A and B are shown apart, each in its own frame.
Chain A
Amino acid sequence: MAERKILLDSTLDSVEVAETEVLGAAREIGFHEDDLHQLGMAVRESMVNAVVHGNRYNARKKVHLSVTKAADRLTIVIADEGDGFDPNAVPDPLAEGNLLRQSGRGLLLIRAFVDEFQVLPGQPRGTEVRMVKYLAKAS
């Protein structure tokens, strides 16, 4: 398995950098266009969470991106250096009373677009998001 690690600034430009990096790796494995779109979206949403909500654009804090290629899957880990958060505390965006909320749909979309998704406490701090997309399960 080939792993590539990149340290990114807490800026929106880093969202583009991460998406480009992940999609490049996904193309090499052989993911098709619809799956690339889904992967790109999951990465963008995770990166926005890390930059905006985790590191709060703090120039002293970094986002850690890891992309691991295997023959049948791509594993992406995105970790921030923020204060951490509890994904269970995010209001259910599908609840009737929450449908018109402006925000809170990022995690829902990530879960919909990858095969495995975990939110873990970062080490030593922050939040670590781990996503896996399988080639075999891809449409």
Chain B
Amino acid sequence: MSVKITNRQVGDVTVVDATGRITLGEGASVFRDMIRDLATKGNKKILINLSDVSYIDSSGIGEMVSSFTTVTNHGGQLKLLGLTKRVKDLLQITKLYTVFEVFEDESSAIRSFA
């Protein structure tokens, strides 16, 4: 299954719920398009919920990094929520834990944008 992405608003934070696999091809491009669209429409506080993402490859990681840069360049913040152990391991291996702010629960993540 490729990735399915929806978004919802919690206060002034846009929560992006991703489900499935973020991999080279459709999965990564769907993810990229969604984040770019949100950033260009002026959403400054974006929280990506990855708790239902079972698999991310290096292309998917690349899209997350690219999304982080896009949102930051638009004056916003992009943070991550609910990483599975496997995704956490990927962020450790790639040292991207030093780049992304990561949260275990949604309410803490929402409050952090204030």
Contact = CB atoms under 8 A, between A and B. Distances in A.
B25 A12 contact: yes
Interface stretch (B12-20, B38-46, B62-70): B62-70
A123 interface: no
B24 interface: yes
A40 B66 CA distance: 24
Interface stretch (A65-73, A74-82, A98-106, A124-132): A98-106
- The A interface is mostly helix, strand or loop, or mixed, namely helix
Contacts of A12: 24-25
B59 interface: yes
B57 interface: yes
B contact residues, range: 20 to 34
A45 interface: yes
Contacts, number: 50
A112 interface: yes
Given A41-B57, A100-B68, A102-B66, A109 B98 contact: no
Contacts of B96: 99
The 3 closest A-B pairs by CB, nearest first: A102-B62, A105-B58, A106-B58
Interface of B: 23-25, 55, 57-59, 61-63, 65-66, 68-69, 86, 90, 93-96, 98-99
Interface of A: 12, 15, 37, 41, 44-45, 48, 52, 93-94, 99-103, 105-106, 108-109, 112
